[in-house]
């Protein structure tokens, strides 16, 4: 096991000072041709690589970015991570992923853990508990320490920072309009409690589309589950309790499951019941029938988040100007609606 070689080792071997070695490796003007060649050759030979930690300590930059998300076993978040990773990697940054698992406490602990020098900035999506609790002190604290934060998807208005979201209200609107256009009038909505920012916005869009089309908003056709967790029981009994000819769901799992329930009831998709979900994941593509969805463009979102964060990290200025990027959702039409 040949352990890593340091500047000191090279200096000792070549009988020059550490500073000379450091400068020689950076091709400094100060150092003579001869010495530079000698040092560089030696370094190459022994495969010298500077120690990242030492460099981080010196210039107070880690080239790491922290990503805190509620869940990773979720198509949308993985696409975001992929987008972040791509952009960050191209810029020489590493991505540290932490999972809050929808828990406020874990979110706080993770952030504290990373905020002590491990990272240059945060990209995050709030846990449901945090959104419900409306306690954002952990965010305020890291920002006060001068650590930039970019919030994506699940955001809050109570914190002033860069944000990237999709226009969820528009997404809900587009989806509902689509169903209405197909002649559907009894549109059910399966969503979560309003504390989840995205669900709330999607619900608003849904409502707006109904009203714009002169339709009544029938609250009994709206099922609000406590979280994004699947609850087959409640969805089943919800469908038993209402009349419906279309279903809009805030994720693809609810939607695919709704299709199954509809099929079990002997209903035809999309003629008897049309279904639209959110998240353009594998499930939507390969479900039978395939599912029409509102695509959230996670990868794009990740890229933009990473770009905004790295811009902040690398900008010298102390200006506190924040922006919110709003991406447009798009409808991916498949077989669960009439096309």
Residue 149, both tokens = 């934060």
Q: Would you count residue 146 as binding a second copy (CB under 8 A)?
A: yes
Question: Could you tell me the smallest distance in angstroms from the CB atom of residue 137 to DNA?
Answer: 21
Which residue has tokens 């790295």? 310
Cα atoms in the Cβ-side hemisphere of radius 13 Å centred on 278: 32
Question: Could you tell me the smallest distance in angstroms from the CB atom of residue 68 to a second copy?
Answer: 11
The partner in contact with residue 1, picked from DNA, a second copy, none with C-beta cut-offs of 5 to 8 angstroms by kind, is: a second copy
The partner in contact with residue 19, picked from a second copy, DNA, none with C-beta cut-offs of 5 to 8 angstroms by kind, is: DNA
Residue 258, both tokens = 């709704």
Alpha helices in 91-127 (DSSP H): 104-115
* Cβ nearer to a second copy, comparing 220 with 288: 288
Among 19, 28, 32, 89, binds a second copy (CB under 8 A): 89
Q: Would you count residue 4 as binding a second copy (CB under 8 A)?
A: yes
* Cβ nearer to DNA, comparing 51 with 315: 51
Question: Could you tell me the smallest distance in angstroms from the CB atom of residue 34 to a second copy?
Answer: 28
Residue 119, both tokens = 């990272």
Q: Would you count residue 274 as binding a second copy (CB under 8 A)?
A: no
Q: Which stretch binds a second copy (CB under 8 A): 52-60, 127-135, 155-163, 218-226?
A: 52-60
The partner in contact with residue 26, picked from a second copy, DNA, none with C-beta cut-offs of 5 to 8 angstroms by kind, is: DNA
Helices (H) and strands (E) in the chain, counts: 14, 12
Q: How far apart are CA 274 and CA 248, in angstroms?
A: 9
Q: Would you count residue 45 as binding a second copy (CB under 8 A)?
A: no
Q: Cα 171 from chain centroid? A: 17
CB 120: neighbour CB atoms within 10 A?
Answer: 21
The partner in contact with residue 90, picked from DNA, a second copy, none with C-beta cut-offs of 5 to 8 angstroms by kind, is: none
Q: Would you count residue 81 as binding a second copy (CB under 8 A)?
A: yes
Among 27, 137, 145, 321, binds a second copy (CB under 8 A): 145
In 107-186, where do the E strands start and end? 121-124, 149-152, 162-166
Question: Could you tell me the smallest distance in angstroms from the CB atom of residue 107 to a second copy?
Answer: 12
What is the binding site for DNA (CB under 7 A)? 4, 6-8, 15-20, 22-23, 25-26, 30-35, 48-51, 53-55, 57-60
Among 28, 50, 213, 237, binds a second copy (CB under 8 A): 50
3-state secondary structure 215-277: CCCCHHHEEEECCCCCCHHHHHHHHHHCCCCEEEECCHHHHHHHHHHHHHCCCCCCCCCEEEE
Q: Which stretch binds a second copy (CB under 8 A): 31-39, 77-85, 198-206, 219-227?
A: 77-85
- Show the binding pattern over residues 209-228: x = contacts a second copy (CB under 8 A), - = does not: --------------------
- How far is CA 58 from each of CA 51, 54, 62, 107, 230, rounded to the nearest angstrom? 11, 6, 10, 29, 48
Q: How far apart are CA 227 and CA 211, in angstroms?
A: 27
CB 84: neighbour CB atoms within 10 A?
Answer: 29
95: nearest Cα among 122, 64, 135, 73: 64
Residues 35, 16 contacting (CB under 8 angstroms): yes
* Cβ nearer to a second copy, comparing 52 with 237: 52
Q: Which residues bind a second copy (CB under 8 A)?
A: 1-4, 49-54, 56-57, 62, 64, 72-75, 78-79, 81-82, 85-86, 89, 92, 94-99, 110, 112-118, 144-146, 253, 256-257, 259-260, 263, 281-283, 286-289, 318
């Amino acid at each position: 096991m040949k352990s890593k070689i340091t500047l000191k080792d090279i200096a000792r071997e070549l009988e020059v000072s550490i500073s000379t070695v450091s400068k020689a490796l950076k091709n400094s003007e100060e150092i003579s041709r001869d010495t530079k060649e000698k040092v560089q050759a030696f370094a190459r030979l022994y495969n010298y690589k500077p120690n990242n930690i030492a460099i981080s300590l010196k210039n107070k930059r880690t080239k790491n970015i922290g990503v805190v998300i509620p869940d990773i076993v979720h198509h949308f978040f993985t696409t975001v991570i992929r987008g972040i990773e791509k952009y960050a990697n191209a810029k020489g940054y590493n991505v540290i992923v932490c999972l809050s698992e929808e828990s406020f406490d874990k979110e706080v602990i993770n952030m504290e853990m990373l905020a002590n020098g491990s990272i240059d900035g945060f990209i995050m999506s709030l846990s449901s508990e945090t959104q419900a609790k409306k306690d954002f002190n952990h965010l305020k604290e890291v920002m006060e320490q001068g650590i930039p934060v970019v919030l994506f998807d699940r955001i809050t208005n109570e914190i002033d920072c860069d944000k990237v979201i999709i226009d969820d209200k528009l997404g809900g609107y587009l989806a509902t309009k689509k169903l209405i256009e197909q002649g559907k009038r009894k549109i059910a909505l399966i969503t979560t409690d309003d504390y989840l920012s995205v669900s709330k916005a999607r619900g608003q869009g849904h409502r707006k589309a109904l009203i714009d089309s002169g339709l009544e908003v029938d609250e009994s056709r709206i099922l609000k589950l406590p979280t994004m967790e699947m609850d087959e029981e409640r969805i089943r009994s919800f469908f038993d309790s209402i009349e419906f000819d279309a279903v809009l769901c805030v994720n693809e799992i609810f939607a695919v499951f709704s299709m199954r329930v509809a099929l079990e009831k002997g209903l035809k998709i999309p003629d008897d019941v049309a279904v639209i979900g959110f998240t353009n994941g594998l499930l939507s593509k390969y479900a039978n029938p395939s599912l029409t969805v509102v695509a959230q463009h996670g990868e794009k979102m990740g890229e933009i988040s990473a770009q905004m964060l790295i811009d902040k990290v690398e900008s010298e200025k102390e200006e506190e100007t924040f922006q919110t990027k709003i991406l447009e959702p798009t409808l991916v039409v498949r077989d669960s609606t009439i096309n």
